[in-house]
Chain A
């Protein structure tokens, strides 16, 4: 009885203590007081370390932190160090909004680097727009967004498809089977693909969506056998992509006659699929780990050295890395001026940076000029770059929608 009471007391003290901590902002953290005096540049780092998308987002976190450390080790920006405030939003949209709110209002960050999924970006949007802060989003996405508070570092549909779809048609034929998870990104990519196919005389033999996380593809494989498309145009993500590719491989389908052409598959997914099963298929992306350039060699070596030889770099964490340098260039350009998010945005536009994928540039509409590439996966898990774009491709987030254009003044309709 005594012991039980004691334990009760301890438990209560623990809970009361933990609850009490919540009630006294500032006292327990002291973060503001400590850094306000210094001249560090506060930025938020908002990638999930736990939860459903942690596998991908933790690699974005790593690349972002590596860039911050590199910059700080080389003397910072105009003599000032970058001070990262790291949060773990645990793959939950509401937590994303809460943590972004905290970074902006309490830590007074001048920019936030963060997130992988569209839903988390849209959860953060009201916070950064309401406070006129700046969100550096490294992921490819579906387009049709034109915020003045987001720096879009990834590809939009026209950048991944304009070269890719005609190339596929020429090489394999124009009968496309569109396969994706059921959410906005695959549907939007497929809208664009349909439009391109229509223009070049291709056709869509089937358009199919499976729920998020769906991992049983035997019925789809039999449909593929029946329809015999020339190309499987694939926007499955994460576990679904891995499960589909394995099923395809086990069913003995042949990449030479019915290749999977993916917009989402990177070195991470291929690692999970296994090089053997992924070999011979294609992806379109601005960056592949196996891309040959001096900048990429340096990036990959540093990354593997820091995080382990079994790690991979891919087209989203390359952008997460580059965006920190774009931020640096913008802050440098501001010089001794007031460091506020809108000034950083304005200074970033037109900036060029020699990224691992090639020299990228931030467009008026805050998206990025990128270098689309077509890669073919090899048995060692790396992609061989078959086609490298001749020029920087402009980002057109409203490409498929006539009369709408994202400009420096926001969305214009004519």
Chain B
């Protein structure tokens, strides 16, 4: 476990260097490239949110895009109100088209920046706590959690599409103003914005890592391995599960808020099936056991997608699909698992001490069995 911590720290430091120094260099410090990379970072953050509940607590949330999408709509509502200040009654244009008389009450508070920023985190957390409370106190686990989260997301998406007069419907919220923070008008194509996104990502990951290293994190891993036994030890399993679920929702909410700013609109596709499944795939490719690896999975797959769609115009979706299948078949623990395996091999190769060799092979055996147990689930 301590070894794992060291690895995480090294990985995290390398990751921070990658994000803070290498990406801006790759992008030539040019705004439009940085905007694209900022988008990748945000999607990586969403993958980290999936890994936090899936990899750590064993809760597979197929509806992660729900809280991501809610975060994006919350930010977009604020920016839309700002863009509509000159309109009659301060009402967004699409409300006029759908013959609304006045701004609905639940839009009002989003005039305020601080309310919006708080809501973008707290509303996803509250929603997740509520759903999680029902699910985990009812001892719903495994595939049923996946089904519930998925169907809930699709239900909300349908509602958003159909309630056009409140939500902009199919087109979503478009024509947004720039965010103003402490008098700084955020230019999403600037270096400063990129660093803001990178800063958010690093802070979120640091906090999440601290959380996972705390006692709560340990209990969560125990729950992943065997919820019943953990319960017999006297831990309140469902509360821990709700906390993990809600934390991951909060992270997804932050990612969603940034995403709406980067693309300049919020769309119902942000809480769509394909994006939500993509989050899970990215986390699986990177390695769901480590949130840093999952983040890298999100960033890496999106970079690859961008490049593949360039090189193979007609076949890029196919190639990407094949890569996913290969990873799931041969690397069930993702690239993170591969790195860990390599490390164990190298150690047992170079270490003369037979006792430590025995220990590492035991370690390896242990990790393989838990991995296969999880697969079986």
A residues neighboring B (CB under 8 Å): 4, 7-8, 11-12, 14-15, 18-19, 21-25, 28-29, 49-50, 86-88, 90, 92-94, 97-99, 101-102, 104-106, 118-119, 122-123, 125-127, 130-131, 142, 144, 182-184, 187-188, 191, 211-212
Nearest 7 CB-CB pairs, A to B?
A22-B303, A126-B264, A105-B32, A183-B170, A122-B174, A21-B307, A19-B300
Which of B171, B269, B319, B326 touches A184 (beta carbons < 8 Å)? Answer: B171
Which of B26, B30, B330 touches A11 (beta carbons < 8 Å)? Answer: B330
Tell me if B263 is interfacial: C-beta within 8 Å of chain A: yes
Contact present for A15 and B189 (CB under 8 Å): no
User: CA–CA, A14 to B321, complex, Å?
Assistant: 13
Interface readout for B255-281 with A: 1 if CB under 8 Å, 0 if not? 000000001110101100011000000
Contact present for B267 and A184 (CB under 8 Å): no
Tell me if B169 is interfacial: C-beta within 8 Å of chain A: yes
Nearest CB to that of A50 among chain B residues? B317
Q: Answer whether A94 and B270 are a contact pair too, CB < 8 Å, given A11-B330, A88-B313.
A: yes
We find that the number of chain B residues with CB closer than 8 angstroms to chain A is 58
User: CA–CA, A18 to B170, complex, Å?
Assistant: 34
Among B90-98, B105-113, B120-128, the one that faces the other chain is B90-98
Which of A11, A49, A94, A212 touches B263 (beta carbons < 8 Å)? Answer: A94
Tell me if B331 is interfacial: C-beta within 8 Å of chain A: yes
Contact present for B94 and A94 (CB under 8 Å): no
With both chains docked as a complex, state the minimum distance between the C-beta of B69 and any C-beta of chain A, in angstroms: 11
Q: Answer whether A86 and B313 are a contact pair too, CB < 8 Å, given A25-B26, A92-B269.
A: yes
With both chains docked as a complex, state the minimum distance between the C-beta of A387 and any C-beta of chain B, in angstroms: 29
Nearest CB to that of B35 among chain A residues? A101
Contact present for A101 and B32 (CB under 8 Å): yes
Tell me if B33 is interfacial: C-beta within 8 Å of chain A: yes
Q: Answer whether A15 and B335 are a contact pair too, CB < 8 Å, given A94-B263, A184-B171.
A: yes
B residues neighboring A (CB under 8 Å): 26-28, 30, 32-33, 35-36, 39, 93-94, 97-99, 158, 161-162, 164, 169-172, 174-176, 189, 263-265, 267, 269-270, 274-275, 285, 300-304, 306-311, 313-314, 316-317, 319, 323, 326-327, 330-331, 335, 338
Q: Answer whether A130 and B189 are a contact pair too, CB < 8 Å, given A12-B335, A29-B311, A119-B267.
A: yes
A-side contacts of B99, CB under 8 Å:
191
A19-B300, A130-B189 are known; give 10 further A-B pairs, CB within 8 A: A7-B330, A14-B323, A29-B310, A88-B313, A97-B264, A102-B36, A105-B30, A106-B33, A184-B171, A211-B161
Q: Answer whether A182 and B314 are a contact pair too, CB < 8 Å, given A4-B330, A15-B335, A123-B265.
A: no
Contact present for B265 and A122 (CB under 8 Å): yes
Nearest CB to that of A131 among chain B residues? B32
Contact present for A22 and B306 (CB under 8 Å): yes
A-side contacts of B26, CB under 8 Å:
23-25
Q: Answer whether A19 and B304 are a contact pair too, CB < 8 Å, given A87-B309, A94-B269, A212-B161.
A: yes
Contact present for A19 and B265 (CB under 8 Å): no
With both chains docked as a complex, state the minimum distance between the C-beta of A174 and any C-beta of chain B, in angstroms: 22
Contact present for B308 and A187 (CB under 8 Å): no
A-side contacts of B306, CB under 8 Å:
22, 98, 102
A-B contact pairs, 5 of them (CB 8 A): A21-B303, A93-B265, A101-B32, A105-B30, A142-B97
Q: Answer whether A212 and B170 are a contact pair too, CB < 8 Å, given A12-B335, A93-B269.
A: yes
B-side contacts of A8, CB under 8 Å:
330-331, 338
Interface centre among B176, B267, B319 (most CB of A within 10 A): B267
Contact present for A119 and B171 (CB under 8 Å): yes
With both chains docked as a complex, state the minimum distance between the C-beta of A405 and any C-beta of chain B, in angstroms: 15
Contact present for A191 and B97 (CB under 8 Å): yes
User: CA–CA, A126 to B173, complex, Å?
Assistant: 12
Contact present for B164 and A90 (CB under 8 Å): no
